[in-house]
Structure 1
């Protein structure tokens, strides 16, 4: 009986060195990750460049991107499977860099938000296609190691993004935080055309579930709007509570819709796999905590310690740089013992990093002794958790569901990022920040980290599970 992997259409020529394929896919993922971290760093600069704009309004340049990304990423995986992963990957990169130019040239916050939506669609097309291309290139027994390296690439972009972005913003303005994507994307397209091989997953037909997409986008958007505007004088609390409740109802309405629709946005049956279910719920919680930690860092550095843009961007780099070797090492360890021990350890240490930030730093800047230890601890934690959750989410899924399963995992984490950004803007985007305001943020951070650890207990990706599955298909 042929394996599920054999059902993929294979190119006629010899298979390309998988690490070359990995490198090309990583260029694109690096570009997308770099763009997100640069925007965190440049938030206040962009806000100052648009007179009359509010922090809540500008936050939609981040949240609209994440909401559309979350909703469109799942069908994008199916599009890549059907029409060709290489083809859709290149199309996504081209759309992303075109929208990046539009972002940098935006004359207002409104135009910036629109351009970010288009940029998000490009990211949706390239991301699941990139991971599917990489997974297709490597044998199953190497995928845990590859996923660790894959997570390290995003971490490296997160590490370099604030420093590079802050320097670019100081030298050329925030617009160049977007323009920098253009040469990176063109390099990626050039390499993709000459090196990548096409692969598809045969489908009889593909119909986009526009109702499901709208349910997700509208539901998450309503919840986010309610959180962001809680401090607004224009919206009564009762109305905002109603908007949040309506958003929750819209999200929950997807369950009966998916059961009655022959081709829903994603199959609920995927969540019958306990590892897939808990990896995604844990990923949602951790994404909120990560967005809170990352975004609030810049508020602290620029408001409490009064660091310059460049100093603030450089100061955060050691944390994400710690993620890189940790993610690579965690992939190797997971290939021997599974992901659960790494996930629980990482969640606990992430809670400890929040505790450090809550109680150690004060108003007097002392980066080396008061901030750096907590930053390194958080980097170690993220390196253990995020790559492990990404790998665990697709562990045990059949080959035909790699792209969709990965897309769901990324979408769930994007929704978590939206909530994290909304909470940070709500609690910290104010004229006179006090250290006590940050204590609230870190209390949420700690609680979410501990919840992540508890949710990881049912995750089972021990290598012996592969042996059991292999034996059951013989």
Structure 2
């Protein structure tokens, strides 16, 4: 077998493990309703199928990077893929919701091992001149995994069943293990030593666990609640302890000199913002497509996957070019496109065409590819080669925390925006009912009572058409009950005009449905705008992620940092 073929198989070994770990962050979401029907349980309980994975992933990622640097990246990568493959099989075989959440959490732990180790394995397997191209392909796979999750999950759930969402990982994981054993060489950070920094690992794991949990529960506890502040405070205290331990330790897991490299900091902050932007885009768009435009979950997932096409193309191209021309322009332009795409989503209407949505998502994918691959490449390029492992851990941890924080903030904003618009719509509906000259007084009373009763539900962002049907059912039942209590003369008057009264009620309900849908569109539009503003700092951070090209010919800064870290 020639060297080119071995290189392809080595890269495939890494990408297979990386792909399944990232895919499982999104592929499960579309199957949650089916899992709810299978196991039962509340929405809060079912949400831990996602939360358990995200918590474990964010908490362990830096620790896994350090252990891989110390004891061998190939060895740790294989442990991660074995654990992920086994937990996927057991998740599919779960007989209770508790079992499924347990194995999803173990999947998260395994994913935290696989994802950060994949970068140093890649950079040590291929020569430096190919790093830009390889990381470009790595970014394309990342975009494909994230964007294709909803559609693959929908197809598998519809054509097979939800268990196969986990079973498909088994053959891919086994193939990754075999190829890794055959074609990947062992590598480690020779300067890292063998002493395990238990204090550092415990403090950073506890800190990330507490902060991630706080953001996951922020909307349940409330952003101003004592529980939220306590969790954030405890998490920050653990992180402060972590930096204290790193400063005083003889063999710290995170060499603090890395944080003096401006380009590395720029990369971490960029991917923190991009992580939040991607999560916000996927979350808001999926809800808009299903609740406002009325698509099925499967169709919405397929539409969302068009973002992967743009990401794959731009990642593959920009990764290699950024190695030659520098990353700051690619990253900054990509961040601008992401912000613009988020803003453009605010102009969608309930009756917008599929082409309008797909075009916006495709352009967003181009922005993602232009940003992630070049910025990641720059971050890795500006740290000493032996510190690529721990640097990858920091960068991926930043992206993971950005994703969790972004969704926590955007959920709150969406609820507030839709709640405000729905309240305004409800007021207009009540005014129309009270001012109607056709309806009899008791019909108005029934209509007003039902609308007021449904007011709270109208603020949740549920589909407006579903609400209109619920209102119709309640009103008709209410009219029958109220009519039975009328005086005989009033009953006769109602009977004589019954058809006209019902037609008028239906006409008002049609107007109400339009009002509610328009309110929902406005609420989503405002939230998309806020999400675009939240993404603006990514432009500045992307510009910081690389040096001017004129100065890049000399790598004195990186050499200096390498000496200082050593």
Q: State TM-score, norm by structure 1.
A: 0.87
Distance 1:186 1:17, change over 3 A: closer
Structure 1 distance, partners of 2:196, 2:289, is 44
Post-superposition offset of 1:204 = 6.9
Contact 1:337/1:462 (8 A) holds in 2: no
Q: Which of 35, 42, 45 is the matching residue for 2:24?
A: 35
Counterpart position of 1:19: 8
Post-superposition offset of 1:182 = 0.6
Counterpart position of 2:492: none
Contact 1:65/1:116 (8 A) holds in 2: yes
Counterpart position of 1:451: 537
Counterpart position of 2:366: 380
Write out per-residue CA displacement over residues 379-419 of structure 1, whole angstroms, 9 at most, x where no aligned residue.
11101111122112211211110111111111111111221
Summarize the alignment of residues 179-328 of structure 1 with structure 2, pairs less than 5 Å apart.
Answer: 179-202=167-190, 205-232=193-220, 237-328=225-316
Higher mean displacement: 113-122 or 326-335: 113-122
Distance 1:48 1:447, change over 3 A: farther
Post-superposition offset of 1:428 = 5.6
Counterpart position of 1:331: 319
Write out per-residue CA displacement over residues 409-446 of structure 1, whole angstroms, 9 at most, x where no aligned residue.
11111111221233355456846263344235323321
Structure 1, unmatched stretches of 5+, are 1-12
Distance 1:236 1:416, change over 3 A: closer
Higher mean displacement: 201-210 or 31-40: 201-210
User: Is 2:356 the counterpart of 1:366?
Assistant: no
Contact 2:193/2:251 (8 A) holds in 1: no
Write out per-residue CA displacement over residues 13-60 of structure 1, whole angstroms, 9 at most, x where no aligned residue.
9898433321221111121122222123334443454433224x4444
Structure 1 distance, partners of 2:132, 2:228, is 44
RMSD value, Cα: 2.9
Post-superposition offset of 1:345 = 0.5
Q: Which of 66, 74, 79 is the matching residue for 2:67?
A: 79
**Higher RCO structure, 1 or 2 (CA under 8 Å, sep 6+):** 1
User: Is 2:261 the counterpart of 1:175?
Assistant: no
Counterpart position of 2:124: 136
Higher Rg of the two aligned structures? 2
Q: State TM-score, norm by structure 2.
A: 0.74
Where 1:306 maps in the other structure, the secondary structure is coil
Where 1:468 maps in the other structure, the secondary structure is coil
Distance 1:310 1:204, change over 3 A: closer
Structure 1 distance, partners of 2:531, 2:237, is 26
Post-superposition offset of 1:376 = 1.4
User: Is 2:389 the counterpart of 1:403?
Assistant: yes
Q: Which of 407, 418, 421 is the matching residue for 1:421?
A: 407
Counterpart position of 1:5: none
Post-superposition offset of 1:332 = 2.4
Contact 1:292/1:441 (8 A) holds in 2: no
Contact 2:140/2:313 (8 A) holds in 1: yes
Contact 1:68/1:217 (8 A) holds in 2: no
Structure 2, unmatched stretches of 5+, are 416-459, 464-519, 561-566
